[in-house]
A = this chain, B = another copy of it.
């Protein structure tokens, strides 16, 4: 699926305090568009000082080419890595199609 469409989605969940570093490293490799939101994490993400074992992480989501997906995941890992439990995960998901809302056209692989 990834190869056929030419696109993928990189989603990562990481520590709040790594955002500035992640953002900077992504821009250095030419990734200029991404969205970020707050999530509550459990388990691997647990904060044992919190009464409900819940902690706050950030979730980043990037739509990119299939070719760049792994490099972007690696960049996020390098930027968000502390070596401690709760560092989170990065994943690459397949994508069928991506469209620009501004142009109302499909994105071509060389545009991302």
Contacts and interface: CB of A to CB of B under 8 A. Distances in A.
A40 B38 CA distance: 9
Contact of A102 (B36, B76, B84, B93): B84
A94 B97 contact: no
Contact of A98 (B2, B76, B85, B90): B90
Greatest chain B CB density within 10 A among A12, A78, A104 is at A104
Interface residues of A, number: 61
Interface in A1-41: 1-2, 7-9, 12-14, 23, 27, 31-41
A38 B41 contact: no
B91 A9 contact: yes
